[in-house]
Structure 1
């Protein structure tokens, strides 16, 4: 399910709801069969755990979607995972056995490490003397956030989102809300910036990598099967 969803999201930025309905429906049927097959004394605990897991993931998914941190497909994927795999404790590290919660936390850890690429790239530009924030009308906090989640580019690749916009006053502003990232970035003709070391003017704009979060969820799922909860692993290492 996650592999199919990741491929579709990378190619078209759209994941049909039938993906979650088909796989989630199959997971629900298997869970019902499992409930029927288990001893009667365990059914109540299983049902309560199942319900709590789905409720937790649904609440987290809805909250992150409303704040713009998640796209529409990400919460649906997590709910489908909670339905298909309500509990898993086969990994080496765990705080709990709610599989979907551990998978989400793993995805967040993996996505944070992806910021290291942006930071490294921006440090290199600064070291070369490139004025990466020239023309940007933003404060230090937003510039620091942009330094971690994006980078300025004169030739955006295929899979990046434009991370800035021009307001009514003609000022260039950052936009960090993923809900605004509908289309891949194009070179913006109104944004001109001279790139040191090259001739002429270059069209440059701030962009952020467009790797869908559903890909990170898939990676987090694989990590959970083998390692478990990365936060639990980091906590144990810290001790």
Structure 2
């Protein structure tokens, strides 16, 4: 019976992240009802198998929920991502005896997203340098070198195909004086068509985090998924 509930939890987790990932990819907007429904089912399962809950499970739930709220408050991720992490925590806080699944998934996702983002920005900035035969960010005359070095890893000039982006430039009355605004708490995802068509703007991408959560969850739970397939 306990094994069956664990399998239900795994299916719930993957279905929830799969649906959320599709919404995140298409619109970067995910209805909150998704997390409420699946998280609510996960909570009901805890009531069903309350005898298996240990102090370590409670610690995992508290820790993972705190991390989810923290990355939202620090603007590392959006509110929907925070809700997704909390829902994951409720559904499957611990697996493989001692692994805090939400924490493990988040740690791997953070590494993958940061690495891929850096490689993407570096490649585009190098391409622009070769094409224009100028140093990267030479138009940002007032910015120190260390900020330009960070910008080389974290932002790039917008491409036509990019839609869900955040402006990495401060608005200034003097158009000849440019300054960086990356990782600013005031920045929002640009959905304005005029901004999206501005290919001279330096931007940060907004990766669909839920897709990465889904992919890493599938990777970590692959033995369980194969077992489910073989027994069905």
TM-score of the aligned structures, taking structure 1 as reference length: 0.73
Counterpart in the other structure of 1:224: 220
1:187 is displaced (CA, Å) by 5.5
How many residue pairs are counted as aligned between the two chains? 202
Name stretches of at least 5 consecutive residues in structure 2 with no aligned partner: 1-15, 224-232
Secondary structure in 2 aligned to 1:164?
coil
Q: Residue by residue, what CA displacement relative to the aligned partner does 1:95-120 show, whole Å, maximum 9, x if unpaired?
A: x5101100101111210221212112
Work out which of the residue numbers 172, 182, 186 in structure 2 matches 1:167: 172
**Higher helix content, 1 or 2:** 2
Higher relative contact order (CA 8 A, sep 6+): 1
1:168 is displaced (CA, Å) by 5.1
| Match status 1:79 vs 2:86 | yes
| Match status 1:12 vs 2:12 | no
> 1:122 & 1:187 partners in 2: Cα distance?
23
The 5 Å alignment of 1:90-101 reads 96-101=98-103
Q: Indicate the RMSD between aligned Cα atoms, in angstroms.
A: 2.7
> 1:142 & 1:5 partners in 2: Cα distance?
35
> 1:108 & 1:178 partners in 2: Cα distance?
19
> 1:48 & 1:80 partners in 2: Cα distance?
19
> 1:27 & 1:59 partners in 2: Cα distance?
18
> 1:185 & 1:175 partners in 2: Cα distance?
18
Would the alpha carbon gap of residues 143 and 109 (structure 1) be closer, same or farther in structure 2, given more than 3 Å must change? same
The 5 Å alignment of 1:14-53 reads 14-36=29-51, 43=52, 46-53=53-60
> 1:155 & 1:132 partners in 2: Cα distance?
19
Work out which of the residue numbers 191, 202, 209 in structure 2 matches 1:206: 202
Name stretches of at least 5 consecutive residues in structure 1 with no aligned partner: 37-42, 91-95, 192-202, 228-239
Deviating beyond 4 angstroms after TM superposition, the runs of 4 or more aligned structure 1 residues are 185-189
Do the aligned partners of 1:88 and 1:99 also contact (CA within 8 Å) in 2?
yes
The 5 Å alignment of 1:149-168 reads 149-153=154-158, 155=160, 157-167=162-172
